Amino acid sequence: WKNPEGAKNRRDTVLNNMRVMGYLTQAEYETEIARPLNVLSKPSLGPAKFPDFLDIVRRQLRTEYQESDLTNQGLRIFTTLDPIAQTQVQNAFKASVERLANSNPARLKNLQGAVLIAHPENGELIAAVGSTQDFTGFNRALDAKRQVGSLLKP
What does the pLDDT look like over 69-106, one tens digit per residue?
887 777 888 999 999 999 999 999 989 988 888 888 87
Residues in Cβ contact with 70 at an 8 Å cutoff, skipping those fewer than 6 apart: 58, 61, 62
Question: Which of 116-120's residues contact partners 24+ apart within 8 Å by CB, and which partners?
Answer: 116/141, 116/151, 117/85, 117/89, 118/151, 119/80
Query: How confident is the model over 30-75, as pLDDT tens digits?
Result: 999 999 887 655 555 556 788 889 889 989 999 998 888 887 777 8
